[in-house]
Amino acid sequence: MAELDTSSDSGKGGKVRSKKASTRVDLTAMVDLAFLLITFFMLTTTLNKPQAMDLAMPDKDEKQKDNELAVAASRTMTILLGSNDKVEWYVGEPGKSTPTVEGFGKNQIRKSLLDNIQKIKASTGKDMFVIIKPSDKSIYRNMVDILDEMHITNVQSYGIVDISQPEVEELKKQNIY
């Protein structure tokens, strides 16, 4: 090991003494190993903690059906989740504007969301409201992805609503059901 020879060498004959072996053990390697393991355990314990995404669903009271909040159609964006990781979205009332079919991703749904937020802010002066309607053919990942997009694009008001039959037909027409 990196150790200098510090024994003063007198070099002048005399009695031959048996060299006393040092009782010290070199602990460097052991410390190295210990720190490596510490690092490993530290990283695994903190990173393994699951992330939790908050989700608040609209209150679904079976006794009072008529307390639904009316939101102006002009500032709502409806996103239908279809199969094969595809979404279809439109602004306003269904059928009034042409729906767009897109995938998930930075340049697809996120861009559309950001565009719509700006447009709606410019025309009505209010924030956009997003309605998410997952169809039976969509998978759980789609739902988490779209909620994550809400989080990324900072949409404050959104809700998950059950899909209706006409919307399923619409998805079928676009071949994503």
CB of 75 to other proteins, least distance (A): 24
The angle subtended at Cα 12 by Cα 8 and Cα 13, nearest 5°, is 125
The angle subtended at Cα 77 by Cα 161 and Cα 136, nearest 5°, is 35
The piece of 13-21, 63-71, 87-95, 128-136 that touches other proteins (CB under 8 A) is 128-136
Tokens of 146: 């779209």
Binding residues for other proteins, total number by CB under 8 A = 52
Site string (67-86) toward other proteins, x via CB under 8 A: --------------x-----
Rounded to the nearest 5°, which phi and psi values hold at 78? -105, 130
CB of 144 to other proteins, least distance (A): 4
Q: Is 35 in the site for other proteins (CB under 8 A)?
A: yes
Q: Is 151 in the site for other proteins (CB under 8 A)?
A: yes
Single residue of 68, 93, 115, 148 touching other proteins by CB under 8 A: 148
Q: Is 58 in the site for other proteins (CB under 8 A)?
A: yes
Q: What is the largest CA-CA distance in the chain?
A: 110
Q: Is 168 in the site for other proteins (CB under 8 A)?
A: no
109-124 and 140-153 are packed helices; what angle lies between their axes, rounded to 10 degrees? 50
Single residue of 6, 23, 64, 98 touching other proteins by CB under 8 A: 6
Residues whose CB is less than 8 angstroms from the CB of residue 168 and which lie 6 or more positions away in sequence, other chains included: 135, 177
Q: Is 111 in the site for other proteins (CB under 8 A)?
A: no
The string of DSSP letters for 108-137 reads: THHHHHHHHHHHHHHHHSS--EEEEEE-TT
Q: Which residues bind other proteins (CB under 8 A)?
A: 1-4, 6, 24, 26-28, 30-31, 34-35, 37-38, 41-42, 44-45, 47-60, 81, 106, 134-145, 147-148, 151-152, 162
